[in-house]
Amino acid sequence: MEKTLTADAHLAAPPAPDALNATTYPVIAAISFAHLLNDMMQSVLLAIYPMLKLGLHLSFAQIGLITLTYQLTASLLQPLIGLYTDRRPMPYSLPVGMGFTLVGLLSLAQAGSFGAVLLSAMLIGMGSSVFHPESSRVARMAAGSQPGLAQSLFQIGGNLGSAIGPLLAALIIVPQGQGSVAWFSLFALLGVVVLSFVGRWSSHHVANFRKRMQAHAGNGLSRRQIGWSLAILGLLMFSKFFYMTSLSSYYTFYLMHKFDLTLASAQFYLFAFLFAVAAGTVLGGPVGDRVGRKRVIWGSILGVAPFTLLLPHVGLFWTGVLSVIIGLILASAFSAILVYAQELVPGKVGTISGLFFGFAFGMGGIGAALLGQLADATSIETVYRVCAYLPLIGLLTAFLPTIKKG
């Protein structure tokens, strides 16, 4: 009888500290794969704009409104959802969010009017607003003592998905027509299944995660210091995403205008840049785990300034080389900034993740619009001469406190 009681007590005992700090790679892999599926399906909406414009006789202003609807829905809801689930954990919200994306894709496949397309974009945006803060929280839960690595692996899934989406759209939707968008709902269904398993794992570990966050809650910073630090991180995010938007949205136009390249040749340079971004995303997190987030933020924002300042003044070969270096270094910033922010406010992982992912969505959309207006008013080369100074905002990193884990 005593042996039975002892065994039961052992099974009911809380996990050892080493278990709480262990990195759960299968869960991180699952959430990264779900990120790939999520961003792949979202990029399909952007990829079929020409088809929607021709088929539904839309204007460029209406195309812009579709983008605005999707990005506003995603960016505004993400912080609110993160805030709510910080107070009331909802482990199974992830498959529900993917369900919104599934319904949005089915709606988009049948959309016969501008209003129906807007509704579809809103549903896809709602799916994103649930997915990003909650999946980032799960990545942090599974990270153990390597939160930077976990966020990087999570992010690389999204980068790959964004690259694969337009390719699949060209292979499947363009030849088959708008109705074939419905086939992508099968990917959403797969995502629901994967995220259901992730939700089950999360429901069993949320209590231990809270204990770990409480153990590191004492970083010795006042509310005012935390507020100023978050404001500085916001400015650093502005610097990063505005410059990244200048390359991802207008790099091909810049190469074609300045060097008389064909569209196919310019896209090769864009692919090299995007590949460097993917590699930089992977490197930023684990490097931050080893040397500290603040050092990575220093290097990834301010460290890229010499290359951005040189870019508008060099020939084609060095433009290609510099863009790869810029993508590699600058892409490492987001994981470091996000994990640093989570360590600033350890009890609000969902809120912080939602806030920063929402800010990233907003900056991407606003940046593309403003830089497009600047290019129309001046020239595409002026865009890169102006944006070259954005990484100097990285000097503000000097005012970020060094966080001591409690």
Boundaries of every domain in the chain:
23-215, 223-399
Instruction: Identify the pLDDT of residue 10.
Output: 38
Spatial CB neighbours of 180, under 8 Å, sequence gap ≥ 6: 109, 172, 173
- CA atoms of 53 and 67, how far apart (whole Å): 13
Instruction: Identify the pLDDT of residue 317.
Output: 95
CA-based nearest residue to 375, from 389, 385, 360, 390: 385
Which region among 14-28, 94-108, 151-165, 304-318 has the lowest average model confidence (pLDDT)? 14-28
223-399 has the same fold as 23-215: yes
Per-residue pLDDT band at 215 (split at 50, 70, 90): low
- CA atoms of 281 and 152, how far apart (whole Å): 6
Instruction: Identify the pLDDT of residue 8.
Output: 38
CA-based nearest residue to 296, from 373, 375, 230, 394: 394
Instruction: Identify the pLDDT of residue 12.
Output: 36
- The total of other beta-carbon atoms located within 10 Å of residue 29's CB is 14
- CA atoms of 131 and 137, how far apart (whole Å): 10
Instruction: Identify the pLDDT of residue 216.
Output: 55
Q: Any idea which residue has 């404001």 for tokens?
A: 231
- CA atoms of 87 and 89, how far apart (whole Å): 6
Specify the CATH architecture of the domain 23-215. Up-down Bundle (1.20)
Instruction: Identify the pLDDT of residue 98.
Output: 93
Q: Can you read off the two tokens belonging to residue 182?
A: 């419905």
pLDDT above 90 for 250: no
pLDDT above 80 for 405: no
CATH number of 223-399: 1.20.1250.20
Mean pLDDT to the nearest integer, 268-275: 83
Q: Pick the residue with more confidence: 218 or 285?
A: 285
Instruction: Identify the pLDDT of residue 189.
Output: 94
Q: Pick the residue with more confidence: 390 or 275?
A: 390
pLDDT above 90 for 272: no
**276-315 pLDDT, tens per residue?**
888 888 887 788 778 888 888 888 899 999 999 999 999 9
pLDDT above 70 for 406: no
**180-213 pLDDT, tens per residue?**
889 999 999 999 999 999 988 888 876 666 666 5
Average pLDDT over the chain reads: 82
pLDDT above 60 for 3: no
**Burial classification of residue 54, based on how many CB atoms lie within 10 Å of its CB (0-12 exposed, 13-18 middle, 19 or more buried):** exposed
Instruction: Identify the pLDDT of residue 359.
Output: 81
Instruction: Identify the pLDDT of residue 335.
Output: 82
pLDDT above 50 for 14: no
